[in-house]
Structure formats: C-alpha cells, structure tokens
Amino acid sequence: MRIIYNLEFIMIYVEDVFKDSGIPTYTFVEPNEFMKLVVALRTKGRCLIIEGPSGIGKTTCLRKALEKLNKNDAVILSARKPLDCEEIKRVLTDNSQSGTIVVDDFHLLSLELKTGLSNLMKTIADEDRDDIKLVLIGINKAGDTLINIAPDLNNRITTIKFEVNSKSKILELIEKGECCLKIRIENKEDFAVKANGSFHIAQMLCKELCLEQQILDDNRENVKIINVPVDGVVSRIIDDLARVFNKKAKDFVVGSRLRIEGRAPYFHLLHWLATSNEWSIRMTDMYIKHPALKQSVSQVAEKGYLSKLIKNNVGLSDVIHYDEISKILTIEDPKFIFYLKNINWTIFADEVGFKNIDFNKKYDFALSFAGESREIAERLFKYLTSEHDFSVFYDFNEQHSILGENLEEYFEPIYQSEAEYVIVILDEFYPKKVWTNFESSRFKSRFGENVIIPIICNGCSPDQFSRLSQIGYLTINKEQDLEKQIHDIAELIIKKVEEKRMGNKM
C-alpha cells in the first residue's frame, strides 16, 4: 500500500509498521477494553485504574482513547521519573482545575504517594468533581494495593483490567502490517500463538521476520509470500535477548548468594512467573499450589529478602516488581517474560549450579526433641532455613497450622514420610516425653533408609540396644558455645544432603 500526498509516493518502512516501542503508526488494534476505557474517561467525578500485564497495550490504548476524545491537554506522568513524582506530590496538595492527569507505572510509587492518591480519588468521587480526573496505569493486580490501603475506595473508582489479547487480535495486528508492507506471512497463526497475547511481542517477532527476509519497506509491485518457521525466528530473538536477560535471570534465581543444596526458592518463583498466564503470581496462591515449597518461598517473601533483592539490584528492579502489601510478584518487561517462556529451564538450572529442583517431600528435615532442648532446635531451624533455604518442620513455626487439628494425625505423616530426614536431638528428657515417644514410634521404621540423624547431648548416650547406637551420630554440649557447635553440626548435615542430591542427579 502506498499513501499519496501532494502527488508523491511516501515510502512505508518496516520500523514504522512493526514498532519496537511507542504508539503504532499503522498497526494499532483496539483491544476489547477500548470502548469501556473511552466511556470511563468521559464519566465525570470518577477516577480510573487501568491494570494488566506489561506489553499488552494499556498505555497505547489510553493514548488512543484520549486522542479519540480530543483530550490533548491530558498530563501524562511516569512513576519512573523523579521530576514527575515531584509533580504528583504537587497535585496532591494543589489540584484545583487540574484536568486529566495520567500516572503511568503507579505501582512503583512510594506508599506515601499511593496513600495520597487513594485519598484524592475518594475526595474527587465524594465531591463529584468534574475539573479533575486521575488515571492510574499499573501492572497486573496493581490496584489491589490501593484497595488494601483504602478498602472503601473500590466503590468510588472504575477499574479496567486488561486481559492478555486474544489470538484474533494479534492476527489483526499482523494483517495490518502485511497490508502496509505488501507481504503475506503464510504461517501467521504460529506467530500469533508465540506472541502469547502481547502486541509488543507480536511487533518484535514480525519485525525480526521481515529483517531476515530483507523486507525493509513497501517498495514492491507484487505481494511477497513469506513462509518461515516461527521457531527459527524465536531462537534468533532469544539469542539476542540473552545478552541482556540471562544475567538478570541468574541474579534473581541465585538471590543474595547461591545455595545449591537448598530448595532454590528464587528459582521456583521465576519459573512460576514464566508459566503464569498473567505474568504475575500471588504468594498466597503459590503456597497452596506448591505446598512442598511453601516454607522456603515464604521465608524469602515474608521476611523481606525478596523485596531487598529486587530493590538493591537496578537490573532486576527494571524487569521485576514485588508489592509487599498485596504480596504479588510481577514481570514488568514483556521481552523478559518472552525470554523466560522460551528458555530450557533444565539447562538453565544446570548453568546456575542447582543440583536438584524437583522435590517430592514437603520438608527437607523434621526436628524431634524434648522441650528442654528447644534452644538447640530453634537455632538449628534458623540456620538451616535462613542461611540455606531448606524446608524444616519445627513445631513453633507451624503453630497456626496445628490449631484445631488432631495432633496425632497431623504429626504422623511428617515423621513417617513427609520429611526427607529426621534430626533427633537426644537428651536425658527425650525418652520421658509423650510426644517424643510418639514421634520416634513414627520414624523408627525409617532407620534402614539412612535418613535419621541423631544429635546426642552431653550427659546422654544411646542405649547399646537402641537403634541410635547402630548409626553415626553427632554430639553437642549444652554447656559450651552453642552457636559454633550448631554451625559445625549444620554444615556436616548440609554436606550429607548435598552429596545425596548430587548422587541422585548423576
């Protein structure tokens, strides 16, 4: 197709048809939410939240809707720009006759600014103001944070949730590009599927295809037929993206430092993101879906390690966001999610150094001890979980789960089969306690599996007829420096686990 203007032909270039960034010139496709957005923008006295996965066209759609309504005076601010954040602060204190104000990536704002915006939106609704409208754009489920801050806000605003675009919408985009460049992509449906609902990724795939086929503009008389397997195009894009995203992915899965013997919580978080249809995950949902990894993942998420990892790494904060209020982890860069969805995760795990990423037991260790040795148990629990990402059953850590349960039914499977190893802290009180006797009766059948690890306290030794006397054990003296002893004991236990998991892998 050629556009005639002043009797001259205007060349259409591939970079203007399939655009890597910015508003599409020729290939804009109205998403299903477009008309709802137009109506919401026209509605007076009601602010608007637009949320959804990155790269599906939220900001582009908003700009086109504003253009349709001739709202050319709308002020568009970005939470990524310090000067724009200062302007947001100014609006919160002086917002008379402000018109339409758009805040893009609002999920990146500080809690203070989010709270201020929540209060202002409530005021606008309550006073039915028609001189100002706030439009906030954020990643998937970003609005949940504002609702958590101000629950009564929900009925005073309009929330438009952008879904992943349908294959038919992606095909519409591709066909518009075909028309402009005088080409026909025979297997365009394959490209539409690989775009995974993202207009941005569809643009990237088609541009790469055109460059490979030397389609640089529309300068041809006849339609050119293109029939190239999509996997080859994807492979070349992934090779190119790896230069940017491979290090980011590895930085994330390693966490603060690589613990190859543990449960790799950061690795699993990133893998769950890669397989999520919405490019975001809610921690509470993951705990239910993956109970075997709940403890190790919650350890990093609930204690602030996950937030700290992202905030302290500029490369990660550009592509991943974690909201501590809503407990939602989200990919922000559509190219990054495309990269994650198309890498070989087994090879990736090997490259990072993880020995095992498949866990068929809920716990790595279960601790069995009398109350008099609780200090040893607690120190050991903290060391194994905080320092090495293991999943450890320790009764005090699970008090909320135990409430209302039949204790015998709850504890029995843990010591019988759900823990890979049972660590027994044997002191003089151990044989005298009801619950330690119950626990030992449940794990005694596992002695032949080489999974019982005794720790013998000073003043106590296993009876010569006891099964514990027939296996290797560790010792600890309660009257000496516990911290160093527990460190040394834990390191020996970790080495045992590491050798077993390496053996299983080989």
Q: Tell me, what's the pLDDT at 465?
A: 44
Asked if the model's pLDDT at residue 409 lies above 90, the reply is: no
Asked if the model's pLDDT at residue 6 lies above 60, the reply is: no
Q: Tell me, what's the pLDDT at 26?
A: 94
Identify the band that residue 21 occupies on the pLDDT scale cut at 50, 70 and 90: confident
Residue 143 vs residues 112, 122, 133, 205, 416: alpha-carbon distances, Å: 15, 14, 16, 31, 44
* Cβ-based neighbours of 277, under 8 Å, separated by 6 or more: 164
Least confident of 6-20, 222-236, 330-344, 418-432: 6-20
Identify the band that residue 7 occupies on the pLDDT scale cut at 50, 70 and 90: very low
E strand or H helix that includes residue 261: none
pLDDT tens-digit series, residues 88-112: 999 999 888 788 999 999 999 999 9
b/e per residue, 309-325, with b = 16+ CB within 10 A?
bbeeeeebeebbbbbee
CA–CA–CA angle 18, 20, 23 (5° rounding): 80
- Alpha-carbon distance of 452 to 203, in angstroms, equals 57
Least confident of 24-28, 71-75, 206-210, 397-401: 397-401
Q: What average pLDDT does the segment 220-233 reach?
A: 93
Q: Tell me, what's the pLDDT at 168?
A: 95
pLDDT tens-digit series, residues 132-153: 999 999 988 888 888 888 888 8
pLDDT tens-digit series, residues 188-201: 999 999 998 899 99
pLDDT tens-digit series, residues 312-349: 999 999 999 998 888 999 998 999 999 999 999 888 98
Identify the band that residue 44 occupies on the pLDDT scale cut at 50, 70 and 90: confident
Q: How many helices (H) and strands (E) are present in the chain, helices listed first?
A: 22, 17
Which percentage of the chain shows pLDDT scores above 70? 93
- Alpha-carbon distance of 290 to 302, in angstroms, equals 16
Task: Tell how far CA 344 is from the center of its chain.
Answer: 18
Residue 184 CB burial class (10 angstroms; 0-12, 13-18, ≥19): middle
Q: Tell me, what's the pLDDT at 4?
A: 47
- Alpha-carbon distance of 122 to 128, in angstroms, equals 10
Q: Are 136 and 12 in contact (CB under 8 A)?
A: no
**Residue 13 — φ and ψ, nearest 5°?**
-100, 150
Asked if the model's pLDDT at residue 33 lies above 80, the reply is: yes
E strand or H helix that includes residue 131: none
Strand partners, 10: 3
CA–CA–CA angle 234, 239, 240 (5° rounding): 100
State pTM to two decimals.
0.76
As a residue count, the chain comes to 506
b/e per residue, 8-42, with b = 16+ CB within 10 A?
eeeebebebbbbeeeebebbbbbbebbeebbebbe
Q: Tell me, what's the pLDDT at 358?
A: 67
Least confident of 6-10, 262-266, 289-293: 6-10
Q: What average pLDDT does the segment 473-479 reach?
A: 89
| 334: nearest Cα among 352, 348, 356, 318 | 318
- More confident position, 167 or 502: 167
Q: What average pLDDT does the segment 2-13 reach?
A: 63
Q: What is the mean pLDDT of the chain?
A: 88
Long-range contacts of 252-255 (CB under 8 A, 24+ apart): 252/309, 252/316, 252/320, 253/352, 253/354, 254/352, 255/300, 255/305, 255/309, 255/389
Identify the band that residue 221 occupies on the pLDDT scale cut at 50, 70 and 90: confident
3 state SS of 195? coil
Strand partners, 101: 75, 134
* DSSP string over 360-382: -SSEEEEEEE-GGGHHHHHHHHH
Q: Tell me, what's the pLDDT at 8?
A: 54
b/e per residue, 169-181, with b = 16+ CB within 10 A?
bbbbbbbbbbbbb
- Alpha-carbon distance of 71 to 57, in angstroms, equals 19
pLDDT tens-digit series, residues 236-254: 999 999 999 999 999 999 9
